[in-house]
Chains A and B, each alone.
Chain A
Amino acid sequence: MTARAAPATTELAARVQDLSFSYAVPGGEERLALDGLTLEVPSGAVFGLLGPNGSGKSTLLSLLAGLRQPSAGADRSADPRPEVRVLGQPPSTALRARIGLLFQETSLDPLMTCAETLWLHGRLFGLGGRALHDRIRALLESVGLAERAGSFVSTLSGGMKRRLELARVLLPSPELILLDEPTTGLDPDAEAALWARLLEANRAGATVVLATNKVNEAEKHCDRVAFIHRGRLAAEGAPAELKAGLKRDAVWVEWPDFTPALAEEIGAWEGVGRLTWAHPTLHATVDAASAFVPRLFQAAGDGIRAVRIRESTLEDAYFDIVGASLAEGEPAR
């Protein structure tokens, strides 16, 4: 996997400072989704927001789109002054004309056709006439749905629906594209096609911000990523920067009987980096798996069920920095 080169510009497409947001929950209580988050998204970047489920990624996107207003953080006594700037302005209804937003869940009327779906969106974004019809035709062509222009959305497959939603996002040529889990549920071909369209828009000047828990996807396509954990920024940088300092090999060991006491012992071995544990898997970064694994078998005996080894990736950096299971959203131990 190769990360893309960082954008040359120093302008910011988005900037948030001391941003907090709480959801009201039944019983009059509040659930803190973002807690004093500070983050900068360079203009022209493909920027990944990584974090386990419920870490606040989607909330951040809705705040950037101006669909929600910041609220007080956990530390109310500190009186932080939240600031959100998007495309150089505070988020507003009018600013949404320059923003494309793809929701995590399918957001299509099943009883409208593909062309009608795009037409309605175009009209809401001030497009019309011949230009709108030409744009709709071109976009349906580019996402491979030209033949289905007159088909009802209810007749489309999941992948086709996602492509139609992407076409809808790109229709008004947004300067900032906010994507929430854009490739969830897509097969590899559909995922590659979707990314091809997105990167094309990015080359044309759009900044792309995507919330995802697919670390491989972020490593492959993003030139900067931010790890968000429990509403806070855990780390931010280019994938290569975040991987710097990691041990060379990553080892996953399926070891149901692993205990914290063993972690202390193994962590003291020479050439062993950080250990994280999310039942039943132990994750370790090491200098050389060829030396680490035999020694592990000696220590564990029959307790180990499976071992997987590969070169360290952004996912390892995530485990290393956040210490949480991306797949399961479980807290670090």
Chain B
Amino acid sequence: MSTAAACAALLQRDVRAVLRSRSQLYSSMLFPLMLLAILGTGVSEGLDPTLVRDGDYASFLVPGTIAMTVLFSSTFSSASYYQDRDCGLLRVLLASPHEPRVILLGKALAGVSIGGVQALAVLTVAAAIPSIDLRWQYGPAGVVAAVGGVLLLALLLNGFAQLVAARIRTMQGFHLVMNLVLFPLLFFSGAFFPLEHLPGWLKALAYANPITYAVDILHLAVYAESSDGYIGLPVDFAVLVSLALVAFLWGFGRRTVYQP
């Protein structure tokens, strides 16, 4: 049995399911865009202009909004494990001639693809808003870096979500744990405010946060006009690739708690 064919079939099935679930599809994109419009505009009005470039908080918020889209999408995608388990389909998939990790890999690829496409769609819409000023300092290479950052973040979050899903029996519990862990990580990632002005202890926490490195890539690729005050792409990619690989292999390299 071809592992690639099995993964491709599962990916196709999950993508089709998301495309059919219009409310999930639209809400996971509309929420970040609404946040960008409302929070971005509102905060820009009262912000010290020296804190972000030109006092333009809405543009600063774009990378964080993209990271948040990936986060939402990964959480929703991973919750489909519970839907498949509850309707019994997961039992059938795990009884096919493929190891459980192949089944989970196929579903994770779907999560990464959906999250990646949604995040890049949000970026496209944001870039088209006249008041948003994105500098793209690396030109086309910046687009590649942004796509790479989004996919690595999606990979990392899907791996982490699978780790949680394999240990939490209920979907409610899963969402609770995901929100409890991921929202603070998002807040301390530089998604909503620059890290350079934070107190030392908070900055240390931010540097221990994997999402920080994805947000840094997106800031550098999309928003920033220089790399001053940022971690830098080589370190960002090195950390993110390592962590995504660890989370993915850890999350998918073991038998899950789901028993047919």
Residues of A bordering B, CB below 8 Å: 62, 65, 67-68, 93-97, 101, 103, 105-112, 116, 119-121, 123-126, 128, 168
Interface window among B37-45, B64-72, B85-93: B85-93
A101 to B94 alpha-carbon distance, docked (Å): 11
State the B residues within 8 Å of A (CB): 1-2, 5-6, 8-10, 13, 16-17, 20-21, 84, 87-89, 91-99, 259-260
Query: Contact: B95 with A96, CB < 8 Å?
Result: yes
**In the complex, how many angstroms separate the beta carbon of A136 from the nearest chain B beta carbon?**
13
> In the complex, are the beta carbons of B13 and A103 less than 8 A apart?
no
Complexed CA–CA distance, A312 and B5 (Å): 53
Which residue from B9, B20, B96, B260 sits with its C-beta under 8 Å from A111?
Answer: B20
- Is the CB–CB distance between B6 and A107 below 8 Å? no
Contact of A116 with B93 at beta-carbon distance under 8 Å, contacts A107-B88, A111-B20, A125-B1 already known: no
Additional pairs, 10, CB under 8 Å, beyond known A124-B93, A124-B96:
A93-B97, A94-B1, A97-B97, A103-B92, A103-B95, A106-B87, A107-B87, A108-B89, A112-B17, A123-B5
Known contacts A94-B97, A97-B97, A111-B17; A67 and B87 CB within 8 A of each other: no
- In the bound assembly, the distance between CA atoms of A107 and B2 in angstroms comes to 23
Give 29 CB contacts A-B under 8 Å: A62-B260, A67-B95, A67-B260, A93-B98, A93-B99, A94-B1, A96-B96, A97-B97, A101-B95, A103-B95, A106-B88, A107-B91, A109-B84, A109-B87, A110-B87, A111-B20, A121-B92, A121-B96, A123-B5, A123-B8, A124-B1, A124-B6, A124-B96, A124-B97, A124-B98, A125-B1, A125-B97, A126-B1, A126-B97
Return chain B residues, CB-CB under 8 Å to A65.
Answer: 95
What residues on B are CB-neighbors of A116 within 8 Å? 13, 16
B99 touches A124 (CB 8 A): no
A116 vs B16: C-alpha distance when bound (angstroms): 10
- Docked pose: A96 CA to B92 CA in angstroms: 11
**In the complex the two chains form, is A103's CB within 8 Å of B87's CB?**
no
Give the complex CA separation of A62 and B259 in angstroms.
Answer: 10
**CB of A175 to closest CB in B, whole Å:** 13
Which A residues are in CB contact (< 8 Å) with B96? 96, 121, 124-125
Which of B10, B93, B97, B260 has the largest number of chain A CB atoms within 10 A? B97
Across the interface, which residues of B come within 8 angstroms of A126, CB to CB? 1-2, 5, 97
B89 CB to nearest A CB, Å = 5
Q: 6 closest pairs, A vs B, by CB?
A: A107-B88, A123-B9, A97-B97, A124-B96, A96-B97, A126-B1
The distance in angstroms between the C-alpha atoms of A106 and B20, with both chains bound, is: 22
Closest Cβ–Cβ distance, residue A185 to chain B (whole Å): 14
Q: How far is the CB of A116 from chain B (nearest CB, A)?
A: 7
Contact between chains at B94 and A67 (CB < 8 Å): yes
The smallest beta-carbon distance between A287 and chain B, in angstroms, is 48
Q: How far is the CA of A65 from the CA of B94 in the complex (A)?
A: 11
CB distance from B24 to the nearest CB of A (A): 12
